[in-house]
Amino acid sequence: MTAPRTAPVRLAVVSAGLGVPSSTRLLADRITASVRGELAARERPVEVTVVELRDLAVPIAHHLVTGFPPPALEEASLAVARADGLIAVTPVFSASFSGLFKSFFDLLDPDALTGTPVLAAATGGTARHSLVLEHALRPLFAHLRARTVPTAVYAASEDWGGAGDALTEDLPVRIGRAARELAVLLDAPAADRAPQPDPADLFA
């Protein structure tokens, strides 16, 4: 369904950081602010829902075991499924996204993200893991038929104090480029996105 241009863009942010405070959440917030700015420049208001997977770790485990979502997880899953766009940020664990991050997406309806623009991002202790975005996150969202923006953002510890180098732009530049790519998709008429039944309605 095409929303009128005055309707707020519904942006969901999934952050799988485990620490409090978490650098994964910090990156998620920086990207969200940047997307918000890009959309503001296009006179599009934004409605942001942040899903902190740390708070849902136990409900996610229960859903895996029982087959149905506890209320808090159901609410979060619906927010993601109904969003116009998604920012998904995970820490790198053992050469991939974290298990908690994957479990959340395992439990979403398989069609929940079909056609949804997604900005994928990850954090890690070293820049050596940055290709996890291309090897793990991008195939996951391709499988879910999401529209992943060309720039994925990786933030290593050193990026938080670095200024890039001859071959790499610094973190704010990468965030800005990815945010712009997402904003362009979110601002575009949604006519080319297949209308989807409300995921809350099983029998639609």
Return residues touching another protein (CB under 8 A): 61-62, 64-68, 70-71, 202-203
- Residue (70 or 115) nearer to another protein, CB: 70
Least separation in angstroms between CB 67 and another protein: 6
Parallel/antiparallel/unpaired status of strands 147-148 and 153-156: unpaired
Q: In sequence order, which residues have a C-beta less than 8 Å from that of residue 65 and are 6 or more positions away?
A: none
Cα distance between residue 118 and residue 182, in whole Å: 7
The nearer residue to another protein, 65 or 166, going by C-beta atoms, is 65
Which residue, 21 or 67, is less far from another protein as judged by CB? Answer: 67
Residue 103 CB, nearest approach to another protein (Å) = 14
Q: How far is the CB of 80 from another protein (least distance, A)?
A: 20
Q: 68 or 161, CB closer to another protein?
A: 68
Amino acid sitting at position 109: D
φ and ψ at residue 136, rounded to 5 degrees:
-120, -55
Instruction: Return the structure tokens found at 73.
Output: 């997880």
| Minimal distance, residue 143 CB to another protein, in Å | 18
Whole-angstrom Cα distance, residue 171 to residue 193?
Answer: 31
For residue 63, the minimal CB distance to another protein (Å) is 9
**Which pair of tokens denotes residue 48?**
């942001």
Closest by CA to 30, choosing from 119, 96, 104, is 119
Secondary structure E strands in the chain: 9-15, 46-52, 85-93, 96-97, 117-124, 147-148, 153-156
For another protein, give the closer residue by CB, 192 or 203. Answer: 203
Residue whose CB is less far from another protein, 66 or 94 = 66
Distances in Å between the Cα of 144 and the Cα atoms of 72, 112, 168 are 23, 8, 30
